[in-house]
Amino acid sequence: MPSQASILPFTIKVGAIFSNNSRSFINIITFIIGTYTGEYMELNTDFAFRMGKDHTVCEDYAFSYEKENISIAVVSDGCSGSPLTDIGARILTHTFLKEGDYRLNKENLISESRVIASKLCIPETALDATLIYCWSDLNTGKTGFSMYGDGTVMVGTRKNGVLKFDSEYSSGYPYYLNYFKSPRLLEYSKINQKVVIKETQVNEWVDFFEISNSFEPDFIFSKEFDIEDIEWIVCFSDGISSVNSDKAAYDFCTFKNMNGNFLQRRFKRWEKINKKDGLFHYDDVSVAGIHFKEEDNETI
């Protein structure tokens, strides 16, 4: 089910006349002015996941959560080479979400998830799954995302078009959180690969510029924004690239209506359009995101 929340009233225009160093002062001023102008922002989250054409079990998972002004939307992609990762992706996701904190503690998450897997009598390798999520914190007025493994994050900004972030591994083998303090980490390190983070700015769905940087495979890429600058953030598992279209994530994010179950509706429509064109996602695809909608209400 999608979730909704209201953000403290604010006015975007005020922030434009101050420097970033005056952010705390801006927050106070915008709160006061927003109270009288009646300008509010509504937030909702949604998620969806589908099995790939070449799969018999969907090893992807997605979920969104909201509690005490914190919203988190997560996708997790289980490794097809490890057993029962459809269950492991769920364990990893909900163990992370139960803390209600987007500042992930890697050691706690993995140790707790391993305990749960053991109690369920499933192998520890079932936890071989990616974890990509976006979040919003209404207490600080911030939003952002983190990428643990391969996948894509699309960010719709209010002034600078759409930003696309891709996390890719040179050998095709992503670094899983489950390798943390595992004997398998030594074996994985022998692959001698890098994770490539690619950032693309899009202007009306045409590539505008691209920046690529390489990091060690266990590098966790995170990005943070002011909520007032962002319209939506959507996270994808790497299955989005299995559609045989470089623009698959762009096409998915051509939203017309972002109310309620906006991602579930868009997923169905996107699959229908692709089918007419003879395109299919051969890999599982999971998607989860947050939408920030400004609304003008009557003066209080």
- All domains in the chain, ordered by first residue: 45-291 (3.60.40.10)
Q: Which of 59-63, 81-85, 89-93, 185-189 has the lowest mean pLDDT?
A: 185-189
Residues 270-287 have pLDDT tens digits of 999 999 988 889 999 999
Q: What whole-number distance in Å separates Cα of residue 300 and Cα of residue 216?
A: 52
Q: Average pLDDT of the chain?
A: 83
Residues 139-182 have pLDDT tens digits of 999 999 999 999 999 999 998 889 999 999 887 788 899 998 88
Residues 65-79 have pLDDT tens digits of 988 899 999 999 999
Q: What whole-number distance in Å separates Cα of residue 142 and Cα of residue 227?
A: 5
Measured over the CA atoms of residue 106, residue 112, residue 116 and residue 122, the dihedral's sign is: positive
Q: What is the pLDDT of residue 293?
A: 83
pTM attached to this predicted model = 0.83
Q: What whole-number distance in Å separates Cα of residue 153 and Cα of residue 164?
A: 6
For the chain, the three-class secondary structure string (H helix, E strand, C coil) is: CCEEEEECCCCHHHHCCCCHHHHHHHHHHHHHHHHHHCEEEEEEEEEEEECCCCCCCCCEEEEEEEECCEEEEEEEEECCCCCCHHHHHHHHHHHHHCCCCCCCCHHHHHHHHHHHHHHCCCCHHHHCECEEEEEEECCCCEEEEEEECCEEEEEEECCCCEEEEEEEECCCCCCCHHHCCCCHHHHHHCCCCCEEEEEEEEECCEEEEEEEEEECCCCCEEEEEEHHHEEEEEEEEHHHHHHCCCCHHHHHCCCCCCCCCHHHHHHHHHHHHHHHCCCCCCCCEEEEEEEEEEEECCCC
The yes-or-no verdict on residue 295 having pLDDT over 80 is no
Closest by CA to 124, choosing from 133, 115, 137, 135, is 115
The yes-or-no verdict on residue 44 having pLDDT over 70 is yes
Would residue 51 be called left, alpha or beta, if left means φ above 0 and alpha means ψ between -120 and 50 degrees? Answer: beta
